[in-house]
Amino acid sequence: MEELDSLPRRPESVSLFLGNVGSPRRVPRAPYRAGTVAGVGLLVLALVVSFAAPVAASAPSEAGPAVLDPLSIPKFANQLTGPPPVYTPTVVTDGADGVVSHDYRVTMSAFMEPMLPPPFPETPVWGYGGPAQDAVTGEPLGFVRGAPGPSFEAERGVPINVEWANEIDTAHMFAVDPTIHWADPNGLGMLEPPFAPYPPGYPGAQAPVPLVPHLHGGEVQSTYDGNPEAWFTSDGIHGSAYGTYRPTTPNATVDQTIAGRRPK
């Protein structure tokens, strides 16, 4: 922490990171509150579903794929060199230099990322992506994908409109349990015993993958706060509570939040 505290930082700059993206279920959550630093709202998102790809592991068996020996993974090997990037907004103005909003388009997709130290292989993850910049220098970094992902740098009173696009068009990487209440985009209903073992489980429960983002650190309406029935899939299937702040593509939704005060 002392090394991070000594890093140069732009005025009114905040760097936080994204948390988890996953299939929605009814899980109790503690409420989150917004914070501000020098007039900047702290906005952090909820997304990371990952598992390690096997290397130097035990041989595969009929019980499942090979797994890593956890004792073979060194601790505290990857150094934290600075804050994560921040998304770069499209600044919407009123034509007279007045800022109307900061608009973003953030994708949710599956990709490979180096989660473990060398020489371990990359890990399959679900994460966020979008145009980003260095949180300290402001240098453009291009399109950045990560898990955890970049953060938002918010200004008090300036609305943030985020278009979330579900681009995960492959099956879920983990077994989905369709015997409890869940999103159920294919309308399987509540299944009764005897239950099929996994694999293969229930292919109709593995795809398409329903997602809904949840924002940490912002004062947002419940409509835009990760309602478990507000999910949407890459092929445009929507949960019963799905909604969007403004029109977008069927595989996406647009949310709005305002740092420092609750949207009306």
Mean pLDDT of the chain: 76
pLDDT of res. 185:
96
Nearest to 44 by CA among 219, 211, 163, 223: 219
Where is pLDDT greater, at 235 or 223?
A: 235
Token output for 112: 């490979």
Between CA 20 and CA 42 the distance in angstroms is 17
Write down the domain spans for the chain.
1-55+77-264
pLDDT of res. 65:
54
Where is pLDDT greater, at 50 or 239?
A: 239
pTM: predicted TM-score of the whole model, two decimal places: 0.73
For residue 61, what is the DSSP state? B
**CB < 8 Å & 24+ apart, contacts of 25-33:** 25/180, 25/181, 25/182, 25/183, 25/228, 26/181, 26/228, 27/228, 29/214, 32/216, 32/217, 32/218, 33/217, 33/219
pLDDT of res. 264:
43
Superfamily of domain 1-55+77-264: Cupredoxins -  blue copper proteins (2.60.40.420)
Q: Which ranges of the chain would DSSP assign to H, the alpha helix?
A: 2-5, 203-206
pLDDT of res. 37:
27
pLDDT by residue (tens digit) across 164-221? 999 999 999 888 988 888 899 999 998 888 988 888 889 999 999 999 988 777 677 7
Instruction: Compute how many other C-beta atoms are within 10 angstroms of the C-beta atom of residue 29.
Output: 10
164-188 in b/e burial notation, b at 16+ Cβ within 10 A?
A: bbbebeeebeeebebeeebbbbbee
Is the peptide bond prior to 194 cis by the omega test (within 30 degrees of 0)? Answer: yes
Between CA 132 and CA 145 the distance in angstroms is 9
3-state SS class at 133: strand
pLDDT by residue (tens digit) across 100-138? 999 999 999 999 999 899 889 899 999 999 999 999 999
% of the chain at pLDDT higher than 70: 72
